[in-house]
Amino acid sequence: MKLILQYNLLLFFSILLILGCSVQNKKDQSLKTNDQARTGDKDIPSLISNLKIINQKLHSLSEKKSVYKIGDPEGKKLDKEYELLDEQAYEILNGLFNIGSPVIPYAKEMLKDSDSNSRFLAVLILGEVSKNREEKEVKEVITELLKILPSEEREFAINVMGALFKIGKPAIPYIINQLGNQDFYKRSYAFELLQIMTAEKFDCYKPEDTNVQDRQKAIEMIREWWEKNKAEWKIPQYKNN
């Protein structure tokens, strides 16, 4: 039976907007706390430790909230508690974003965490602190993100894709390389992301093509396209209609 990956670009852009716009909105609302959090490299471990603790509390509260109906007094109390913790989490995140590249080794270590929520935060941090940097600065980050790109876990794959999207131009050659991945889902995610980042269809390539030689020829054509166009490339501007 032929495998066909059902792409969901709307879901991708929804999460991408959450990753980008939500952080910016919270940043605008919490400048005071950001000033307090912008303390330096030595505070990174404690900031990340606090972020993990708050993240676990949020997850626990989310489960508790699910049993209450809308408007329930006890549920409203949990909502307020959740909002306060959520604000604290974003304040810490913004503090880490402001510290910048020194956060990267710590975030990479978080990728190994058994807790999926911590891994999500790690991906978010890596994408944010690695954007607008030169390839030599983010090469290891890109490699790590592509390494953890899952096979069938669509939601987490979208998070990784969002981080690579933020990194931008330096990530594209590595994404093209992933088109040759033996894992159907991984090369399909890579192709989907490449199409989004270049606004090109690349009809020459079919992720579902079982002929490795045909896929490799198509990959070479895509590489040639990138070499010709990378100097003038700019990330496409998508409107949220």
State which residues form the domain around 135: 9-169
Instruction: Please give the pLDDT value at position 1.
Output: 30
Q: What is the mean pLDDT of the chain?
A: 81
Instruction: Please give the pLDDT value at position 42.
Output: 82
Q: Contacts by 224-227 with C-beta closer than 8 Å and gap 24+?
A: 225/200, 226/172, 226/173, 226/176
Stretch 95-112: mean pLDDT: 92
Q: Phi/psi class of residue 99: alpha, beta or left (left: φ > 0; alpha: ψ in -120 to 50)?
A: alpha
Assessment of whether the complete model's pTM goes beyond 0.85: no
- Assess whether pLDDT exceeds 50 at residue 34: no
The reply to whether 206 falls in a domain is no
- φ/ψ of 236, rounded to 5, equals -60, 150
Cβ neighbours of residue 208 under 8 Å, at least 6 residues apart? Answer: 2, 3, 4, 5, 184, 188
Number of domains the chain is built from: 1
The reply to whether 230 falls in a domain is no
Stretch 88-103: mean pLDDT: 92
Instruction: Please give the pLDDT value at position 198.
Output: 94
Cβ neighbours of residue 75 under 8 Å, at least 6 residues apart? Answer: 65, 68, 69
pLDDT confidence bin for 109, thresholds 50/70/90: very high
Residue-wise pLDDT tens digits, 62-73: 888 777 777 778
Instruction: Please give the pLDDT value at position 129.
Output: 93
The reply to whether 178 falls in a domain is no
The reply to whether 65 falls in a domain is yes
CATH number of domain containing 123:
1.25.10
Q: 203: burial class by Cβ within 10 Å (0-12, 13-18, 19+)? A: exposed
The reply to whether 127 falls in a domain is yes
The reply to whether 146 falls in a domain is yes
Residue-wise pLDDT tens digits, 122-166: 999 999 999 888 888 888 899 889 888 876 677 888 889 889 988
pLDDT confidence bin for 235, thresholds 50/70/90: confident
The reply to whether 112 falls in a domain is yes
Stretch 3-13: mean pLDDT: 39
The reply to whether 174 falls in a domain is no
Instruction: Please give the pLDDT value at position 85.
Output: 92
More confident: 79 or 17 = 79
Q: Where are the alpha helices (DSSP H) in the chain?
A: 9-17, 23-29, 31-37, 44-65, 73-99, 104-110, 116-130, 135-148, 154-167, 172-177, 184-198, 212-229
First-to-final CA distance of the chain: 36
- Assess whether pLDDT exceeds 80 at residue 88: yes
Q: Give the distance from CA 182 to its chain's centroid.
A: 22
Stretch 98-103: mean pLDDT: 92
- Assess whether pLDDT exceeds 80 at residue 91: yes
More confident: 167 or 237 = 167
Instruction: Please give the pLDDT value at position 173.
Output: 94
Residue-wise pLDDT tens digits, 178-205: 999 988 988 999 999 999 999 999 999 9
Give CA separation, 76 vs 56, 61, 83, 170, in Å: 20, 12, 11, 45
